Amino acid sequence: MGGRVQGKTRGQVGNGPGSEERNMATSNNPRKFSEKIALHNQKQAEETAAFEEVMKDLSITRVCLDRLVSFK
């Protein structure tokens, strides 16, 4: 057989019997879905905080640069 099962290599996900039911069961689990949303919201909040920090640093740098240019 050479590592193939029903035309697919080992480890490859197929659309065989029961695969749709398994996919629906995992995607419709409310606990897991709410956990995914919570993780997404946490990651988004961290990225937003990092972005705001960069923008704050950029604003401070621009103000300092403007002051240096105006003193010359």
For 41-52, what is each residue's pLDDT tens digit?
999 999 999 999
Asked whether residue 13 is domain-assigned, the answer is: no
pLDDT reported for residue 42 = 97
Asked whether residue 61 is domain-assigned, the answer is: yes
Confidence of residue 64 (pLDDT cuts 50, 70, 90): very high
Asked whether residue 11 is domain-assigned, the answer is: no
Asked whether residue 2 is domain-assigned, the answer is: no
Provide the domain count of the chain. 1
Place of tokens 């956990």: 35
Model-level pTM?
0.52
Mind giving me the DSSP string for 8-43?
Answer: EETT-----TTHHHHHHHHHT-HHHHHHHHHHHHHH
pLDDT reported for residue 31 = 78
Asked whether residue 46 is domain-assigned, the answer is: yes
Where is pLDDT greater, at 3 or 52? Answer: 52
pLDDT reported for residue 24 = 57
Asked whether residue 42 is domain-assigned, the answer is: yes
Range of the domain at 50: 29-71
